[in-house]
Amino acid sequence: MARYVLVRPARLDLETVAARTGLHPELLRRFAALGLVETTRDANGRPCFPLSTVARVARIQRLRATLPVNYAALGLVLDLLDRIDVLEARVRSPRRWT
């Protein structure tokens, strides 16, 4: 009989993300409330973030520094940039002719 081990995805706590990004934890909570970063709660109710959050926050900081938009509008900008990435990947992938 095969045994399967359930593996939890690696997550970072709020303090770790704050230390790695240089942002105040309250600003990270605001990002989560605005939907700019993904978050879940651990068993104790504390926020946890995926490993990709550090890179996403760096992207948010770069965009905020170069675009005259508020954090709420940055959500739309990030969504559009993500869609562009998907479309560019489709264009670059080899096409199948059917």
> Cα separation of 97 and 49, whole Å?
41
pLDDT tens digits, 34-87: 999 999 998 899 999 999 999 999 999 999 999 999 988 999 999 999 999 999
Number of structural domains found in the chain: 1
By residue range, what is the domain housing residue 46? 11-92
Residue 49 lies in a domain: yes
Residue 3 lies in a domain: no
Residue 78 lies in a domain: yes
Residue 98 lies in a domain: no
Residue 5 lies in a domain: no
